[in-house]
Amino acid sequence: MATRSYTSRRELDEHTFHPAVALLVPVAFIILQALLPKPFPKLAILDLPLIATIFFAVSRRNPIAGTFTGMVIGLLQDVLTNQYIGINGITKSIIGYTAASIGFKVDVDNLSTRSLMCFAFSLAQSGLLYLIQNHLLGHLGVPVLWLHELIRAVVNTLVAIPIFFLLDRTRSDE
């Protein structure tokens, strides 16, 4: 007779990381994001902290942890860049919450889902940054180059996929 398990999907799929990985990977991505565009201006199109936020939020599948991860990564990014403190904190908190919520309901371990999420979240972050700058900060008339934002989303997606596969090797299932 077959037995049924009453283990929830969350209990089956929630992943944890060694504390060193959970701390050092986002910090390294933030530092690279701050330093790489100076000698290589074309690398400013990358958003490595966004990739870290999406990966850790989706892997943990916990909206509270995703929000907190996004907030910490975003605020650290704000400290090291020329942004007002809190702009990236707000956007990455929203992205972290949304990514964790989607990760709880959808199989996010396959390539097509990950690609679609990275692309959509990159565009969503661009839209959120635009809204924050125009409506909260009052920088009216700041132009948005949507073609550039589409290219940014594609580039971030292409960079995120191999990073996700590398970071998948660091997670432990409990």
The enclosing H or E element of 171 equals strand 171-173
pLDDT tens per residue, range 96-125: 999 999 988 888 888 899 999 999 999 999
**Model confidence at 81, in pLDDT bands (50, 70, 90)?**
confident
Between 28 and 137, the higher pLDDT residue: 28
Average pLDDT, the chain: 88
Structure confidence at residue 105 (pLDDT) = 85
Average pLDDT for residues 2-10, to the nearest whole number? 48
**Per-domain residue ranges of the chain:** 11-37+45-173
Instruction: For residues 77 and 16, give the distance between their C-alpha atoms in angstroms, rounded to a whole number.
Output: 23
pLDDT at residue 12 above 60? Answer: no
Q: Comparing C-alpha atoms, which of 45, 59, 54 is closest to residue 73?
A: 54
Which pLDDT band holds residue 174 (cuts at 50, 70, 90)?
A: low
